[in-house]
Structure 1
């Protein structure tokens, strides 16, 4: 398969800070070599440092989305499958826009469903999925080239276990499909039943059980082991037509043994094999 890896190395507006170091660390950890050895043709692009260098969480976060949307669209036009390596979850809004996605699978220990009205921290990336679903930041999201909000009935939320009260309340009123890894494949079938034809897969690496793999500072108990997540997303890839993948929120400062990069390589290789076989 022809693959375009797109690096978006920002964390809360900070270039190469925190989880913004993750994309380069994944590349340095042998990701391209792992995909190439599996027979894929891989190109790597980097959106680089944007704008005037001022670190503004909101403005920079959406500027990253704009840049990623353009790079994903270029990959599509060249017949390449886009994989975005991002520091922040909000970046998936750009990948969704560039890929023309009409469905989303969101694997994350958090719901990312706060809005400016419900957030108690103001953390923009805690509003990432809400943005993708058109629940907040509408003018900013509308300015992302190609962005169309995804209907909540075409959203599967995988292994979200650290939810704020407002997120729990919101999920009670939305047709979002919630699932754990063992049931993920059947849950993904509901996306196609709801009419989704182009599904984006977002994986925040903190979805893992931190006792099995810790990718960043968030370590809520529970979640799948790497092999369980890999099996689940491959099952979902058989059930839903994936058109792009975002891998986010890897902070190498919390991975002293560099366990994450080879596991991401294995995850992506198995996923791409499944997509090719579909």
Structure 2
């Protein structure tokens, strides 16, 4: 398969720090070589440094989304399947816009449905899914080329277990499909019933149980192990048309044994094999 791996090495507007070091660590950990050995044609594209210091989190976060949207759009035009390696979950909006996705499967230990009115931490990334659904930051989101807010009924949130109080209220109110990792493949039928045609798969690596895979400082107890996440991703790939993939939130400072890159490589190999069998 022809692939584009697009790297967006930013964390909260800062270049190549924290989560922003994750994309390079994944590349250095051999995922490109592993994909090539499995017969894939891999093109690696980095969005580079955007803008000049001082960089402000909100403005920079959406600037990164705009850059990613352009790279993903170009990738799709070349007939390549886009895989975005990013620091922050907000970057998925750029990928979704570039793919013209009409739905999303959002795999994350957090709900990411806070808004500025409900957030108790003021963390932009905790609003990422809310932005994708058109619930906040509307003018900024509209600046992303190709962005269209998604109908919440065309969103499945998988294994969100660390929720703020107001997020729980929002998720009770919205028609978002909720699923545990083990039931996600079964529940994806609800997305199919909504008539979706181009689904983006967003995978925040902190969905993993930190007892089996520690990817950053914010992981909460519980969650699936790597094999369960891989089975889920492959099952979804076989069940619904996937337009692209984002992988986020890996901080190599919390992975002393460098366990994450080879596991991500295995996930990608199996996921792409599932896509090719459709």
Judge same fold: TM > 0.5, yes or no. yes
- What interval of TM-score do these two structures reach, taking the shorter chain for normalisation? over 0.9
- Contact 1:6–1:44 at 8 Å: present in 2 too? yes
Deviations 1:98-139 (A, max 9, x none): 000000000000000000000011100000000111111000
Partner of 2:57: 57
TM-score by length of 2: 0.99
Q: Say whether the 8 Å CA contact 2:157–2:178 is kept in structure 1.
A: yes
- Contact 2:9 / 2:21 at 8 angstroms: preserved in 1? yes
**Structure 1 residue 82 displacement after superposition:** 0.2
Name 2:277's counterpart in structure 1: 277
SS in 1 for 2:71: helix
Distance 1:141 1:219 in 2: 27
Aligned positions of 1:86-235 closer than 5 A: 86-235=86-235
Matching of residue 267 in structure 1 with residue 267 in structure 2: yes
Distance across 2 between alignment mates of 1:175 and 1:162: 19
> Is residue 104–residue 154 contact of structure 1 (8 Å, CA) maintained in 2?
yes
Distance in 2 between the 1:107 and 1:187 partners? 13
| Matching residue of 1:15 | 15
Larger mean Cα displacement after TM superposition, 186-195 or 114-123: 186-195
How big is the shift at 1:53?
3.1
Question: What is residue 44 of structure 2 aligned with on the other side?
Answer: 44
SS in 2 for 1:97: helix
Cα deviation for residue 178 of structure 1 reads: 0.6
**CA RMSD, 1 decimal:** 0.6
Q: Distance in 2 between matches of 1:192 and 1:237?
A: 13
| CA distance, structure 1, for counterparts of residue 190 and residue 271 of structure 2 | 19
Shift of 1:219: 2.1
Residues 207 and 219 of structure 2 are in contact (CA less than 8 Å); yes or no, is this contact kept in structure 1? no
Secondary structure in structure 2 of the residue aligned to 1:59: helix
State the Cα deviation string for residues 138-180 of structure 1 (Å, max 9, x = none).
Answer: 0000110000011100111110000001000001111101101
Q: Is the 8 A contact 1:184 1:233 kept in 2?
A: no
The aligned residue for residue 75 of structure 1 is 75
Distance 1:54 1:235 in 2: 43
CA offsets 1:204-257 (integer angstroms, 9 cap, x no match)? 000000000010111211100000010011111111110100000000000000
Alignment of 1:241-252 (within 5 A): 241-252=241-252
Deviations 1:39-85 (A, max 9, x none): 10000000000012322100000000000000000000000000000
Cα distance in 1, alignment partners of residues 98 and 208 from structure 2: 27
Question: Deviation above 3 Å: which 4+ runs of structure 1?
Answer: none
TM-score, reference length from structure 1:
0.99
CA contact (8 A) 2:105 2:201 kept: yes
Q: Which residue of 1 aligns with 2:237?
A: 237
